[in-house]
Amino acid sequence: MMMTDRRDERDIPATVLVVEDEPRLARLVETLLTSIGHRVLTAADGQTAIDLAAAEPLDLIVLDLLLPGSVDGFTVCERVREFSAVPIIMLTARTLEAEKLRGFAVGADDYITKPFSARELLARVRAVLRRSQRSESSPGQIVVHDLVIDLASYSVSLGGKEINLTPTEYRLLLMLARHPDQVVTHAELLTEVWGPDYRDEIAYLRTYIRYLRQKLEPDASNPRYIKLRQGIGYYLSTEG
């Protein structure tokens, strides 16, 4: 699990909260992340994790789903999302689709299934951090109809009313809004928003398109903004 070639993995140092009740695994994840320059905080239960997330400026949370006591990973995710848009990667021993979708629904950005390799962990962490760091660079606004995306503050409003999006929802919307009326393929969206390893994960994309529509569309079953080009991809319509 430990050894991997890390020579070309220069990352921008980030502060990562690792929430894991198995001490051996927590130490291993901590060692891996500190070895590539990140600062790591650890919590062995859900309540400590929520308290730390509220007290510390974090760049990422790696969150075990099954935690001792009454506060599990889903609850941590849900509570942290009440005050923070920090990226969250969930660790789960199971790969149930229903569990994944529940995690996304409460605001997780990605999943790693146990047991995982060092390489996989580092790749996912890097992908999630790059996504959030990349979306921090371009000022200005994108306006489509009454939809306004403010790139400096990452805020989205519709008809003057602010819409709360998770970081992944925001990036997906941004990708569509940068090329209004142009179909962006499933693979392009997955590669840009989630990373090259995800280009075939259509279920991720469908799930997030559904969340975006629920938040943006006056009638989610008859979308006005986010339209599907069957078998190809999605586009943001300026026709309305």
* CA dihedral sign of residues 95, 100, 103, 107: positive
User: Of the listed pieces 19-27, 33-41, 135-143, 219-227, which binds Ca ion according to CB under 5 A?
Assistant: 19-27
Site for Ca ion (CB under 5 A): which residue of 45, 59, 64, 169? 64
The alpha carbon of residue 101 and the mean position of all alpha carbons in its chain are separated, in whole angstroms, by 13
21 is a site residue for Ca ion (CB under 5 A): yes
**Nearest distance in Å: CB 26, Ca ion:** 9
How many residues of this chain interact with Ca ion, rule: CB under 5 A? 3
72 is a site residue for Ca ion (CB under 5 A): no
99 is a site residue for Ca ion (CB under 5 A): no
User: Of the listed pieces 16-24, 49-57, 98-106, 207-215, which binds Ca ion according to CB under 5 A?
Assistant: 16-24
150 is a site residue for Ca ion (CB under 5 A): no
Q: Which CB sits closer to Ca ion, 66 or 151?
A: 66
**150-161 CB burial, b ≥16 within 10 A, e <16:** ebeebebebeee
Using CB under 5 A, list all residues that contact Ca ion: 21, 64, 66
